[in-house]
Every structure is written in structure tokens, then in C-alpha cells.
Amino acid sequence: MLRKVLLFTLLFISFLGYTQDNINQLKKQLNSASNDNQKSELLLKICNQYFKNKKSIDSVFRYTKQLENIAIKTDDNNLLAIAYDKTNRAHYLAGHHDLAIKFGGKAIKLYEEEKLLIASAIVKRTMGFTYQAIYNN
């Protein structure tokens, strides 16, 4: 039994180290990215790594804001919806329920304008979790 616990602990620690190394590598790639498409792809990967890690969720906001700025600059409503979606999820995980609702609503509106109904439904699910958290407290 002790062996299993020790093995699990070592695997868990190595996974966290790998995830942080992966985030650092993605950040280096982001610094050398030359165009908005590369930057937006790397920003999405960085956000997803933070969500997988479930640590330092507050760090996600810096990258979703950069993603939002690229989407506005390139007039890409799909990317803007994704940025709002990621911001919504980060606010939900951080316990900022009012902001989660605000950004979730923006994401849903854009997803529905783009006829991306599955993506809209996923945001609505997160919004449901947010409302549940508000009313259960």
C-alpha cells in the first residue's frame, strides 16, 4: 500500500512539473511568434495548459486578454467568442461569479451569431454551474 501511495505521489509531482515546463516552453514560443495566427494558437494552448494544471488560474486572465486583443484587431468574432469563453471559465474557477456570467453571456451571443451551437451549449453549461454556485452559497 505504501508503495502505491509513493508511486502515485511521484507520478503526480512529475505531471505537475511537466505541465509547468510545457507552459514555460509555450511562453517562449509566444515571445518569438511572428504573426497573430501563431500568437492566438499559442495563447489558446497556454490557457488550456493552465486549465489542465488547475493551478494559477489567475494567470489565465493575462493570456485571455491578449487573445481578446488579437481577435478585436483581426476582427475575428470566432476567436473573440473563444477568448470570452476562456475568460468565463477562468472566472468561474476563480469564484468570480458575476464576471463569469458577464463573459459567458458575451461568448454565447457571439457563438450563436456564428452558428456555433455546440460551443454555445458548452458555455451555457458553465453558466449553469455558475448560477448553481451562486444560489447554493
Q: How far from 114 is each of 117, 120, 126, CA to CA, in Å?
A: 8, 10, 19
Which pLDDT value is given to residue 14?
43
Query: For residue 12, is pLDDT > 60?
Result: no
Class of the 2-136 domain?
mainly alpha
Q: If pLDDT is split at 50, 70 and 90, which confidence band does 19 have?
A: low
CA dist 79 and 45 (Å) reads 13
pTM of the model: 0.80
pLDDT per position as a tens digit, 30-49: 888 889 999 999 999 999 99
CA dist 89 and 4 (Å) reads 34
Query: For residue 62, is pLDDT > 80?
Result: yes
CA dist 19 and 41 (Å) reads 17
- DSSP string across the chain: -HHHHHHHHHHHHHHHHHHHHHHHHHHHHHHH--SHHHHHHHHHHHHHHHHHHTS-GGGHHHHHHHHHHHHHHHT-HHHHHHHHHHHHHHHHHHT-HHHHHHHHHHHHHHHHHTT-HHHHHHHHHHHHHHHHHHHH-
Domain ranges in the chain are 2-136
CA dist 114 and 81 (Å) reads 9
